[in-house]
Amino acid sequence: MTFYNRRPRASGSVSRTAVNRTQASAALDSALLALRGPFIVADLETTGLSTSTCEILEFAAVRVEASGALAREYTQVVRTRSPVPSFITRLTGITQAEVDRHGVPVMQAFSSFLEFVEDLPVFFHNASFDRRFLGAAADLTGMPFANPTHCTLALARRAWPELPSHKLEILARHVGASNPTHRALADVRTTVAVALAASSRLALA
The residues annotated with a catalytic role in the active site are 182
**Is beta strand 39-46 parallel, antiparallel or unpaired with respect to 149-151?**
unpaired
Residues in CB range of 54: below 8 A, 6 or more apart: 46, 47, 48
Torsion of CA 77, 79, 85, 91, to 10 degrees: 0
Asked if 124 and 43 count as a contact pair (C-beta separation under 8 A), the reply is yes
**Alpha carbon 10 to chain centroid distance?**
39
CA atoms within 13 A on the CB side of 101: 5
